[in-house]
Amino acid sequence: MDFLEKNWKNLAFGLVVLLVVGLGYSIYSTQSSEKEKKAQAAFANIEQQVLALKAATAPGADKAADQKAAPVDKEKLKQDLEGFVSQFPGTVASQMASLALADIYSTESKNSEALAVLKKTANNSGVLSNTLVIKRMGQILSDMDQCAEAVQVWEKVVSNKQASFAHGDVKIQQALCYKKMNDLKKAEELLTSVKNNKTEGQEQLSQEADRILRLLKLNSTLGS
């Protein structure tokens, strides 16, 4: 199950990265406030550095091509992101910046720092960026073996109807945490709910939940 958990977390993390990078500014409403528009404009240059760093450090990155590009000063980038979060509180752009900074901290095994910066931007809104922030907070807490806190944080996503796109993978991660806490009944309950969700777009998650559920039951039978 440890192998399964590791690979599922990698998949979940990858989905978050794709959402953050792929969505770009499409998540911003045309009705954005002047403060938000100013924050978006200010974040544009920093975002280019974030994307360049991701490209340079991604598995299978073209090292020859990277050598031709100007290297990214990671320490300065971290400072810029931290400053941006403080300068533009309450904006979607600041949440995007906190996600980027948390990812960098995570690659440095600095989970406490990653969690701290995400907490600065998390709020009670139902917007996509806030869902991603809360979802990432839960993942980091789980990585820190703070599963009781992680499942509570993830519950904010599950209870948000606007975040239905994230319910399946969050429930799977909750189930893995409940397994860690030896609450197999709750773990099976969550996995079964994801397995039984056959709606369009949920097929892969349904299959993953079914696979994990079968392994969970097998391990339980074997007494592991």
Among the listed residues 157, 129, 130, 136, the one whose alpha carbon sits nearest the alpha carbon of residue 27 = 129
Range of the domain at 107: 2-19+74-222
CA atoms within 13 A on the CB side of 216: 25
In a domain, 37, yes or no: no
Six token digits for residue 109? 């095994």
Q: How many domains does the chain have?
A: 1
Q: What is the pLDDT of residue 173?
A: 96
Q: What is the pLDDT of residue 26?
A: 41
Report the greatest alpha carbon distance in the chain.
60
The CATH number of the domain where 122 resides is what?
1.25.40.10
161 by DSSP, 3-state: which? Answer: helix
Q: The dihedral of CA 137, 139, 141, 144: what is its sign?
A: negative
Six token digits for residue 39? 């924050």
- Burial string for 145-162 (b: 16+ CB within 10 Å, else e) reads ebbeebbebbebbbebee
User: Tens place of pLDDT for every residue, the chain, 224 residues?
Assistant: 454 555 555 445 444 443 444 444 444 443 458 899 999 999 999 999 999 999 988 887 665 555 566 789 999 999 999 999 999 999 999 999 999 999 999 999 999 999 999 999 999 988 999 999 999 999 999 999 999 999 999 999 999 998 998 999 999 999 999 999 999 999 999 999 999 998 888 899 999 999 999 998 887 777 65
In a domain, 139, yes or no: yes
In a domain, 109, yes or no: yes
- Quickly list H helices, the chain: 2-23, 34-57, 63-68, 74-87, 92-107, 111-121, 128-143, 147-158, 164-180, 184-195, 203-222
Six token digits for residue 214? 């079968």
Q: What is the pLDDT of residue 68?
A: 60
Q: What is the pLDDT of residue 60?
A: 74
Mutual angle of helices 184-195 and 164-180, in 10-degree steps: 150
In a domain, 202, yes or no: yes
Q: Which residue has the tokens 């039978």?
A: 221
In a domain, 178, yes or no: yes
Distance CA 120, CA 114 (A): 10
In a domain, 156, yes or no: yes
Contact, 88 vs 35, CB < 8 A? Answer: yes
* pTM score, whole prediction: 0.82
Q: What is the pLDDT of residue 66?
A: 53
In a domain, 39, yes or no: no
In a domain, 121, yes or no: yes
Q: What is the pLDDT of residue 69?
A: 67
Q: Which residue has the tokens 């810029």?
A: 80
DSSP string, 45-59: HHHHHHHHHHHHHST
CA atoms within 13 A on the CB side of 106: 23
